[in-house]
Structure 1
């Protein structure tokens, strides 16, 4: 049985065919506004600068080929999300030509649904967990900053102030412990979800 990532790759191959047909139809040749642009997409979406749609599909293929390992959860989740954004951007361009939309509506719509299902399968449960993990890491970072701040104050504090600051540091360490437990639990959940998805 193919994995969600294999199915996503199959959809990208089909998207490449759609983009090639689109380029061959030369929809942009008579559009002076587009011809004057250095790139079809915003640079925050694609690094590629081209007026040929297939060039952007090649960038997506390269990104999928070099996805970070699943163990690097933040990077993997971010890369998958970026691919999803890029594919949706190409789909919008493909559907922007009325003649193209009319000729390909049924066929393209079906393929688009299959693609979205493939991405959704990868992203559904793990996407929320990646967000949760990110929030937990951010919380851990803030707690460490608060501990460091109080340690700096401790160096300048008198005996009475030092006692109160030490209590605060102990309380923060307790919160850090709970936060790190939450991080481990979320990482375990992500691993479980991704194992199930790859079955």
Structure 2
């Protein structure tokens, strides 16, 4: 067959590329694979592939070469053959570019993740500042131990308020007239205090998560 040389060269190039890809994928740190697990590195028309590992591309190129072989056997017109060869060449070039730019992709993914984390923290800061509990952060942000102490303090307050509400609701059952209205108002006030206490608890829990997140991320 007059195109045997072409097919032989393509298979040889694919074999060489496969070895490069295997070495590339094997040397990828787990952190890099995780960072790029949702990253699309190619145009959908070139490859269906996500993440830092490139070996899935090899099978897709191999399939193209087999299809080219079938077209050659069918003696299809030259334009069809040329288009198939150009597609294979484009795929070779794309994988080689990806091999050379994985480091850049990892850095970009890390920066995107860091930016997203900072946006979330900034949003939490704005929400917390507007919540009226910023004084907690100012007073106890030196370390997580202080935050846990503050959390336990507020949990104790919440339990005491809940107990007080239960007592007042029992008293309310035997109240009449003005005393009943007064007790109802006191219960309402206690519920408001409980609501603020629970908001403070939620705020402190968020601060603990924000404080400890860098530590957990570093130790994964």
TM-score above 0.5, yes or no: no
TM-score band by shorter chain is 0.3 to 0.5
Q: Which has the larger radius of gyration?
A: 2
TM-score for both structures, normalised by structure 1: 0.42
Work out which structure has the larger RCO, using CA pairs closer than 8 Å and 6 or more positions apart in sequence: 1
